């Protein structure tokens, strides 16, 4: 059985919802999604020219009635179980990119974690990894060089 979207599109949707959750699509979030798609091996065969359209398609679905449920259904249908934690990690990275996790973004992560059956322990480890990767440098006056 084939799904209506590819696993790569599903991973992008997980990131796009994280970026769109607070209704403020930031340039830093879009840039990060683009960099992730460019760098990670899981996206090796994804046509990067389709990235903007893919994010736009996700946004259009979200704008519909029950759009979030529809996106979650598409993600669950397209992702094999071994990529569930990958989707959660990528969503966490997008939430972490600006250094502030808004309430709406945290709600998305909670929904995604539950829908993809990611244990709380594994989720905490993934969240901690994202936090560590996107940590901001201390202010100049706090540096002891």
Q: Give, in degrees to the nearest 5, the angle at Cα 67 between 62 and 70.
A: 120
Question: CATH homologous superfamily of domain 7-134?
Answer: TerB-like (1.10.3680.10)
End-to-end CA distance of the chain: 58
Distance CA(85)–CA(118), nearest Å, equals 7
Q: What is the pTM of this model?
A: 0.90
Whether the pLDDT of residue 112 is over 60: the answer is yes
Provide the token pair at 119.
Answer: 């244990």
94: number of Cβ within 10 Å: 28
DSSP structure class, residue 105: H
For 66-91, give the DSSP string: THHHHHHHHHHHH--GGGHHHHHHHH
- pLDDT tens-digit readout, 81-108: 999 999 999 999 999 988 888 899 999 9
Whether the pLDDT of residue 1 is over 50: the answer is no
């Amino acid at each position: 059985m084939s799904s209506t979207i590819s696993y790569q599109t599903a991973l992008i949707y997980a990131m796009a919802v994280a970026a769109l959750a607070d209704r403020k699509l930031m340039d830093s979030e879009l840039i990060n999604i683009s960099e992730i798609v460019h760098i990670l091996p899981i996206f090796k065969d994804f046509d990067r020219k389709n990235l903007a359209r893919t994010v736009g398609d996700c946004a259009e679905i979200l704008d519909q009635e029950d759009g979030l449920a529809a996106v979650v259904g598409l993600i669950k249908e397209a992702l094999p179980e071994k990529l569930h934690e990958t989707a959660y990690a990528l969503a966490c990275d997008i939430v972490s990119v600006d250094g502030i996790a808004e309430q709406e973004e945290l709600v998305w992560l909670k929904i995604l974690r539950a829908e993809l059956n990611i244990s709380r322990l594994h989720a905490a480890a993934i969240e901690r990894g994202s936090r560590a990767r996107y940590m901001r440098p201390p202010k100049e006056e706090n540096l002891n060089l």
